[in-house]
Structure 1
Amino acid sequence: MKLWGIDLGGTKIECAVLDSNNNLEVVVRMRIATESAKGYEHILSQIKKLIDLVAEQVGERPAKIGFATPGVLEPDSQLMKNSNTICLNGKPMKKDLEEILGIPVQLANDANCFALAETLIGAGKDYPRAEVVFGVIMGTGVGGGLVVNNKIIGGHHGIGGEWGHNILEENGDSCYCGKAGCVEQVIAGPALERHYEKISGVKLSLKEILEEYHSGKNEFATATIERLLEFYGRAISTLINVLDPGLIVIGGGVGNIDLLYTAGYDKIKKYIFNKGVVTTPIVKPKLGDSAGVFGAALL
């Protein structure tokens, strides 16, 4: 049996077909441009075009298909919300896709798909006893996905795992969600760059800030990275206090910072409700940028 998945991004759409009879070996992977500026209907036509191209290569059409989407399908209204590809918001995307493709469709937020793939075929394979796995995305934004007993927990409002929009810093920077000082506005990549520029008057990329930090000669870089580690420890401790997962997997560009797994891990001890003892495995992902599309196929 072949498992079909689509990862719908703002700039590209990727399709992967996995062979469930052969250790989930990748049969085909293909990408085309999303061209989201052309609107919702065009995105749907691009999805159909990609599936037609892949079906030609595979020699068969999908019987059903999973989608990793920016944003989420609201359970009650069945309309998309919280998507940074704005033209998707308010649209009955599942219904429209099923009409266009003529097959059952399953949608899940891209962070949930990341968490599911890492649980089942990625980092989670090294921690088979982990019943609760939390997948963190720390990059341009901050998101998350929650998997319990190998099943995505979407939640009552469809926002299960959305830890990026809890207030982390009182009177912090305003967030598009309507609050201020959200996790995303403190420890996402752009937030770190913005903080460095605010205290130094100089604009640097996160990569450059890290290089300056490791040189030991830039007080502003030191302050920026130490601030990241402190707030990271506080934010992750809240996840652990509420969910106590058996594994946390951290994806996204900021997640590549090695300090998060050493000095950042130590910061969690200050805030955890466990007398300063932390044994939660916190690891980097194993699937790279394949996690979203593999997770979609595994839906």
Structure 2
Amino acid sequence: MRIGIDYGGTKIEAAALSEDGEVLHRRRIPTPDKYDLALTTLRDLVAAVEAEVGRRGTVGIGTPGSLTPGTGLIRNANSACLNGQPFQRDLEAALGREVRLANDANCFALSEAVDGAAAGKASVFGLIVGTGCGAGYVLDGKVVGGAHGLAGEVGHMPLPDPGPDELPAPACWCGLRGCLENWVSGTGFQRAFKAATGRDLDPPAIVAAARDGDAAAQEALRRYRDRLARGLSVVANLMDPDVIVLGGGMSNVGQIYEGLAEAVQARTFSGAWAGTVVPARWGDSSGVRGAALLWDPEEIPAPS
């Protein structure tokens, strides 16, 4: 049995998966705001899941932020109490076993590559376009983290080929300017719509207005798709994925897929990229499933 944990900013979700990927038990709890409490909460959560299923499992966890190579300290997590902490080491001590840990976007990509929307494909890029913009890359069924844990993090590269209406580049929380996250996240979509129209609507309201024939909202969706295509064309040129899988709130907006793959292809070298851009199969469950899948079946220890 494999237990996956998705450590979110407001909730923690745990799921136990059988050998064939069936969810045996699922549980959600609020995210604590103190580090010591986070460790004991996760310890008790794993114990509760194992008690419910009646089996001991491996544990994989998808975290906000990422591990700093060399030190193992968490960085860039929106759950601020994790930052600067040796989270994996301390969690292994609390649970008394090895724990696999990866960025939540990497877990998303892994889930969709193994048995999700990109199942059977060798090269898979996953992009979460929700409140923020996280990404992960999977090659031949393995997460590619890179030398510094930055592989695939296109959310904090500049929006390619900005036009006059996209300059000066907006400041990003990360300290850079013009980051793709500021344009293709749900938050960025809302910000850009307000800047263009003076109307402060959340993404669902903008999408609803577009469906009702609001010209400004329709133009906002067209501009969103164009900006997303520009960002994904860099992914296509650098990584050449078979499939790009989108997750997060904006991935549920069907209009953004209309002509999206073709727009990406048009911006790639020689127009040779012929991949697809698709919504996630597992939706919000991809993170917890991917965390569990950090353990390959052959790596799971035999019951003691």
TM-score with structure 2 setting the length: 0.90
What code does the residue aligned with 1:248 have?
I
Contact 2:110–2:141, Cα closer than 8 Å, also in 1: yes
Of the three residues 243, 255, 270, the one matched with 1:274 is 270
Note the alpha carbon deviations across 1:80-107, whole angstroms, 9 max, x for none. Answer: 0111111111100011001111100110
* 1:71 equivalent in structure 2: 65
Residue 163 of structure 1, CA deviation? 0.9
Structure 2 residue matching 1:144: 3-state secondary structure: strand
Q: Distance in 2 between matches of 1:278 and 1:92?
A: 40
Unaligned runs of 5+ in 1: none
* 2:96 equivalent in structure 1: 102
* 1:18 equivalent in structure 2: 17
* 2:182 equivalent in structure 1: 185
Is 1:49 the counterpart of 2:44? The answer is yes
Residue 192 of structure 1, CA deviation? 1.3
Structure 1 residue matching 2:14: 3-state secondary structure: strand
Of the three residues 144, 147, 155, the one matched with 1:153 is 144
Contact 2:169–2:178, Cα closer than 8 Å, also in 1: yes
Of the three residues 221, 234, 238, the one matched with 1:238 is 234
Of the three residues 223, 229, 236, the one matched with 1:227 is 223
Q: Distance in 2 between matches of 1:296 and 1:279?
A: 29
* 1:293 equivalent in structure 2: 288
Of the three residues 126, 129, 149, the one matched with 1:135 is 126
Note the alpha carbon deviations across 1:233-264, whole angstroms, 9 max, x for none. Answer: 11111100111111111111111122222133
What code does the residue aligned with 1:45 have?
T
* 1:123 equivalent in structure 2: 117
Q: Distance in 2 between matches of 1:256 and 1:274?
A: 30
Note the alpha carbon deviations across 1:166-218, whole angstroms, 9 max, x for none. Answer: 01145311001111110001111111111222222221111121222233343
Structure 1 residue matching 2:171: 3-state secondary structure: coil
What code does the residue aligned with 2:217 have?
A
* 2:170 equivalent in structure 1: 173
Moved more, 208-217 or 198-207: 208-217
Is 1:7 the counterpart of 2:6? The answer is yes
- Give the length in aligned residue pairs: 288
Q: Distance in 1 between matches of 2:12 and 2:208?
A: 33
Q: Distance in 1 between matches of 2:39 and 2:179?
A: 32
CA gap of 1:240–1:136, structure 2 versus 1, over 3 A, is same
* 1:92 equivalent in structure 2: 86
Contact 2:261–2:275, Cα closer than 8 Å, also in 1: no
CA RMSD, aligned part only? Answer: 1.5
Q: Distance in 2 between matches of 1:28 and 1:205?
A: 34
Structure with the larger RCO, 1 or 2 (CA within 8 Å, 6+ apart): 2
Q: Distance in 1 between matches of 2:211 and 2:239?
A: 34
Q: Distance in 2 between matches of 1:111 and 1:131?
A: 18
Structure 2 residue matching 1:207: 3-state secondary structure: helix
Q: Distance in 1 between matches of 2:288 and 2:222?
A: 34
CA gap of 1:166–1:206, structure 2 versus 1, over 3 A, is same
What code does the residue aligned with 2:211 have?
H
Is 1:198 the counterpart of 2:195? The answer is yes
Contact 1:172–1:185, Cα closer than 8 Å, also in 2: no
TM-score with structure 1 setting the length: 0.92
Residue 278 of structure 1, CA deviation? 4.4
Structure 1 residue matching 2:118: 3-state secondary structure: helix
Q: Distance in 2 between matches of 1:137 and 1:209?
A: 19
